[in-house]
Amino acid sequence: MPTTPHPTRGVTACDRCGAAIRWATEIGTGRRMPLNALPSPMGGYAAHTNGSGGLVVRELTRDRAEPEYLEWKAVAHFSSCAPPAGQQPRPPVPRARPARRRPAVQPPLFGQPQRRPR
The reply to whether 16 sits near Zn ion by the rule CB under 5 A is yes
The reply to whether 20 sits near Zn ion by the rule CB under 5 A is no
DSSP string, 7-62: SSTT-EE-TTT--EEEEEEETTT--EEEEESS--TT-SEEEEE-TTS-EEEEE--S
The reply to whether 11 sits near Zn ion by the rule CB under 5 A is no
Binding string to Zn ion for residues 45 to 84, with x set by CB under 5 A, is what?
------------------------------------x---
User: What phi and psi values does residue 77 have, to the nearest 5 degrees?
Assistant: -70, -25
| Closest CB 30 distance from Zn ion, rounded Å | 22
Nearer to Zn ion, 38 or 70 (CB): 38
* SS percent in the chain: helix, strand, coil, step 5: 5, 25, 75
User: What phi and psi values does residue 78 have, to the nearest 5 degrees?
Assistant: -50, -35
Nearer to Zn ion, 17 or 60 (CB): 17
Q: Is 115 helix (H, G, I), strand (E, B) or coil?
A: coil
Nearer to Zn ion, 13 or 50 (CB): 13
Nearer to Zn ion, 36 or 106 (CB): 36
AA letter at 78: F
Which residues contact Zn ion by CB under 5 A?
14, 16-17, 19, 81
